């Protein structure tokens, strides 16, 4: 397993970690198999979505802010229930195929760490299982 460091800059932030994940797969030496990218934080998420137009992930974060308001009368004492709810909706990880030593992504796809309670310094865990 490799641990990636991700610095977020806003309360809601989307950090494209595709390059870091590709480098991690290379370091793990897997040419074919499965890749899992995991977020060990309860107020962050990992998603795959369009990376060609940054407005796509901005639109996603803005829509989520409307869907689950920050001040929703939640019971959680820390005041970050919005982040926990959104993290539960998006999920804590993704599993992707590895082909020719790289994550197999569609033409416009990228891998993103979604910050839902930042800014913070976060970790992302990358593991691979070889099919060779």
51-104 pLDDT per residue, tens: 999 999 999 999 999 999 988 889 898 889 999 999 999 999 999 999 999 999
The pTM (predicted TM-score) of the whole model is 0.95
- Read off the pLDDT band of 47 (50, 70, 90): very high
Q: What is the tens place of the pLDDT at every residue in 9-46?
A: 999 999 999 999 999 999 999 999 999 999 999 999 99
- Read off the pLDDT band of 122 (50, 70, 90): very high
Number of domains in the chain: 1
Domain of residue 115, residue span: 2-130
CATH at 40: 2.60.120.460
Q: What are the E-state strand segments in the chain?
A: 2-7, 13-16, 32-38, 44-50, 93-99, 102-103, 109-115, 121-130
């Amino acid at each position: 397993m490799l641990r990636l460091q991700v610095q977020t800059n806003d309360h809601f932030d989307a950090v494209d970690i595709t390059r870091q994940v590709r480098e991690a797969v290379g370091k793990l030496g897997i040419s074919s198999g499965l890749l899992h990218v995991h977020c060990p934080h309860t107020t962050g998420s990992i998603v795959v979505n369009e990376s060609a137009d940054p407005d796509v992930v901005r639109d996603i974060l803005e829509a989520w802010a409307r869907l689950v308001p920050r001040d929703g009368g939640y019971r959680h004492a820390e005041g970050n229930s919005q982040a926990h709810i959104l993290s539960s909706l998006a999920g804590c990880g993704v599993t992707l195929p590895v082909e020719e030593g790289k994550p197999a992504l569609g033409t416009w796809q990228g891998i993103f760490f979604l910050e839902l309670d930042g800014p913070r310094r976060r970790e992302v865990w990358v593991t691979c299982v070889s099919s060779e």
